[in-house]
Amino acid sequence: MVVAGYVGALFAAQPASGIAGPSVGYGPLIPDPDGVLDLPRGFRYSVLSREGTVRPDGLPVPSRFDGMGVFPGRGRGSRLVRNHECSPTSRIVVAALPERTYDPAGAGGTSTVVVDGRGRAESEHVSLGGTAINCSGGRTPWRTWLTCEETEDRAGEKGYIKDHGFVFEVDPYDDGRNVNPTPLAAMGRFQHEAVAVDPHTGVVYETEDAFVAPLGGFYRFLPARPRGGWGSLRAGGELQALHVPELPDLSVVGEAGTVFGGVEWLTVPDPLAAAVSVRAQDYSKPITRGYKLEGAWWGERDRCVYFVSSFARTELGSAVNHDGQVWKLDPRRGTLRLEVIFTRTTPGPGNPEFDAPDNICMSPYGGLMMCEDGTGDAYMLGTTRDGEVFHFARNRVNAGTAEEPAYGELSGVGFSADGSTMFFNIYDPGITLAVTGPWNRHRD
């Protein structure tokens, strides 16, 4: 396997066993006797929420825990807004109060989980319902969550009453603001994955996880009210698609550290995709595309936006195969640089090597945290400040064997405001976890 990174020397790593991490980061993973999560020595987890648990309102916690935003709570507590990537056929669909429901036929939405200063879940309730396939999203500088629908289904399709494929804003503190859910239509109607907001300009960057040709694009939204605040994105703005000269397909870049200049942005002719998908519209120049454009994160240290191409396969429309890329767009310099690329030499069931990064976040202790969503056991991956990749946690709930390969997605990673706790989800069956431990022991 080859794992490469521009900052410092990323290395080729073959773990000694299915649960042992490389010799960087926090050390080898210790098997969890309860079969939930393997972690390095000194770290511990607690379960905050489980799919199917009956809440005080008498309704079960919905299925498919996906993207999640972490916000400051009282004292050292936190508030989590968690997506449910539910369709009408999901095991437990989202049931919201009528005033917090966009489309009564929609099965997705968000839950808000309140965590106290001791790391215990105080309460949990549905904060948005009636949406569809809520995949990931992103936090705003004014402390709200933008939840994204990963679909282009229209009214009349699959039983839906309203069009879907939008971004919605959810307030983690004031549910009075979550009544009458309003799609942020000017941000586009497409298969949204994640967003990242530049707090200095108000620009919103958006990824598109398209499953069929043409491949998805990377977009930016220029808000009419760039100073932000609750509801400001409803005022509209301009949606633009990324064009990088001589780079029609991100998959062709195989060397980390490769930099492209001359980044341009092309106006999207029809953000509501009335006739054809946003990615298939007639642009003045070819937009730059990638397969499975997923996680996105604003890096405040360098004022750049990071985003992920989870993997690429030629049989799915990409020009070249790879097992994951992390890109960095520098808005001020107008450059795009490949930061990390994963390339497995022997892909297949049981291969424990790195692949398929999905949701990402910046660690307060340096580097990225990346949720795996690929073949074999699912890990939480970390990078050191120098860019080396390591296993931080292993999903044991969905652990597999050589005879029966695993499929288990991790999602929704983020840290508490004080950096003491990392929160994330196991997608299916849905479990929200809080991890604490000796973060300063980070070996980089």
- Give the per-residue pLDDT at 366: 83
Q: Is residue 12 scored above 90 in pLDDT?
A: no
Task: Flag whether 352 is in a domain.
Answer: no
Coil, helix or strand at residue 235: helix
Question: Is 271 within the bounds of a domain?
Answer: no
Considering only CA atoms, which of 381, 416, 410, 384 is closest in space to residue 397? 410
Share above pLDDT 70 across residues of the chain, in percent, rounded to a whole number: 90
- Contacts of 44 by beta carbon, 8 Å cutoff, 6+ apart: 435, 436, 437
345 falls in which pLDDT band (50, 70, 90)?
low
Residues near 229 by Cβ (< 8 Å), separated by ≥ 6?
A: 142
Which residue carries 């499929």 as its tokens? 407
Return the exposure string of 300-328: e unless at least 16 CB atoms fall within 10 Å of the residue's CB, then b: eeeebbbbbbbbbeeeebbeebbbbbbbb
pLDDT for 102 equals 98
Q: Mean per-residue pLDDT for 238-250? A: 97
Q: Is the pLDDT of residue 204 over 80?
A: yes
pLDDT at residue 16, as a whole number = 27
Percent of the chain predicted with pLDDT > 90: 82
Q: Is residue 91 part of a domain?
A: yes
Torsion of CA 314, 247, 197, 307, to 10 degrees: 40
Whether 293 is covered by a domain: the verdict is no
> 416: helix, coil or strand?
coil
pLDDT given at position 73: 97
Cis amide linkage into residue 88, ω under 30° from 0: no
Q: Which residue range forms the structural domain that includes residue 133? A: 62-176
Q: What is the pLDDT of residues 387-433, one digit of tens each?
A: 678 899 999 998 766 566 667 899 999 999 999 999 999 999 999 99
Specify the 3-state DSSP secondary structure of 233: helix
435 or 24: which leads in pLDDT: 435
What is the pLDDT, as a whole number, of residue 444? 41
According to DSSP H, which parts of 120-167 are helical? none
| Whole-angstrom distance, CA of residue 94 vs CA of residue 88 | 9
pLDDT of residue 56: 84
Q: Supply the DSSP string of 64-116, one letter for each residue.
A: -EEEEEEEE-STT-EEEEEEE---TTSSS-----GGGBS-TT--EEEEEEEE-
Instruction: Please give the Cα distance from 200 to 226 (Å, whole number).
Output: 9
Query: Does the pLDDT of residue 306 top 50, yes or no?
Result: yes
**What pLDDT digit, counting tens, does each position of 97-112 carry?**
999 999 999 999 999 9
Examine residue 429 and say whether the peptide bond preceding it is cis (omega within 30 degrees of 0): yes
Asked if residue 433 lies in contact with residue 415, where contact means CB atoms within 8 angstroms, the answer is: no
Alpha carbon 32 to its chain centroid, in Å, reads 26
Looking at residue 8, its pLDDT comes to: 32
| Placement of tokens 């309460």 in the chain | 123
Question: Which CA distances in Å does 18 have to 39, 293, 399?
Answer: 13, 28, 10
The residue type at 16: A
- Which pLDDT tens digit goes with each residue over 152-165? 999 999 999 999 99
Residue 86 forms part of a structural domain: yes
Nearest to 205 by CA among 151, 171, 241, 235: 241
Q: How far apart are CA 422 and CA 363, in angstroms?
A: 9
CA separation for the pair 88, 107 (Å, rounded)? 5
Residues 33-70: pLDDT tens digits? 999 999 999 999 999 999 999 988 889 999 999 999 99
Is the pLDDT reported for residue 18 higher than 50? no
Q: Is residue 138 domain-resident?
A: yes
372 neighbors 356 (Cβ within 8 angstroms): yes
Please enumerate in sequence order all residues whose Cβ is within 8 A of that of 368, keeping only pairs 6 or more positions apart, or say none.
Answer: 297, 306, 326, 340, 360, 361, 362, 382, 383
Report angle CA 71, 195, 108 to the nearest 5 degrees. Answer: 75
Does a structural domain hold residue 111?
A: yes
Give the model's pLDDT for residue 442: 55
Closest CA to 428 of 410, 413, 412, 414: 410
What integer best gives the mean pLDDT of the chain? 90
Within a domain: 139:
yes
Report CA-CA distances (Å) from 64 to 56, 83, 109: 20, 8, 10
Strand-pair partners of 149: 134
How many domains does the chain contain in total?
1
